[in-house]
Amino acid sequence: MASAFARCYKRACDRDLTPRQAGRTLQRLLEIETYRMMAMLALPLAREQARRAVAVEEALAALTADIAQSQQADEALLGPLTRLAAEVESGLTASQFRFGACRAYADLVERRIAELRERRLPGVQTIEEFMHRRFTPAAATCASTSQRLHDLSERVAQASALLSTRVEILRERQNQELLGSMNRRATLQLRLQRTVEMLSVAPLTYYVVAIVGYAARGAHEAGAPIAPDIVEAASIPVVAVLIVWAILAAHHRVFGKDHEAKAGLEL
């Protein structure tokens, strides 16, 4: 069939081409039209994605203004921003294959036109001029829509990163306040515990002095030359001092190790 077209083209248009040259020329013409039609399959998708991009850009502009003015809570803005990011990524996933094919077919069309090596004839529009007026703008529309979606995806990602950073900073501040509150409560509990321990010196002294008194009275009954009441009275300050010393030594052993551990971590 191609040879028949070539013979008709040769008889009607050009008598200087051999049948093989006419066949190659006709094949290039058919390829140009085929690749042009395949490339233009992306144009309806580009128009649809362009409308979606406009809506996403308007929503992103409103969200960015809210972020800048802090009219809403940062965590409340994460939901709409995440939906925008999902919508943009969905559009990219659905269209990038067709847009990539459009770029490839557009390159093939340009190559086949260049292979024709056209020469201008007076009053006749060349195929290259026709394609530059009708096909190239459509292919450029598809390419610009693809780039627009990529740029929009980056803008949404930047806005999400900014908002996430602000939320993380707010959470860190809240955690610091919570830790500070816990530290203050722990300090108060420690002070209360020390107060209770110091108050417990009195009952401990009482019980220990009572034991010393029982021992002194027993020794007195056994014939030892001591006065139980005097021994009991004299043992009160000694026992109190020993109990206080024991409590302070226990505090030093416990909290002294904690201080050494903290100093080692700081170093």
pLDDT tens digits, one per residue of 46-97: 999 988 888 888 888 888 887 777 656 667 777 788 888 888 888 888 888 9
Residue percentage of the chain with pLDDT more than 70: 87
Residue with the two structure tokens 């100093």? 263
pLDDT of residue 14 exceeding 60 = no
Exposure letters 16-48 (e unless 16+ CB within 10 A, then b): ebeeeebbbbbebbeebeebbebbbebbebbee
Q: Quick one: tokens of 97? A: 């294959």
pLDDT band of residue 257 (cuts 50, 70, 90) is low
Strand-pairing partners, residue 124, are 121
pTM of the model: 0.58
* C-alpha pair distances (Å), 128 with each of 33, 35, 36, 117, 142: 12, 14, 12, 10, 20
Contacts of 25 (CB under 8 A, 6+ apart): 6, 9, 17, 116
The domain ranges of the chain are: 40-183, 200-266
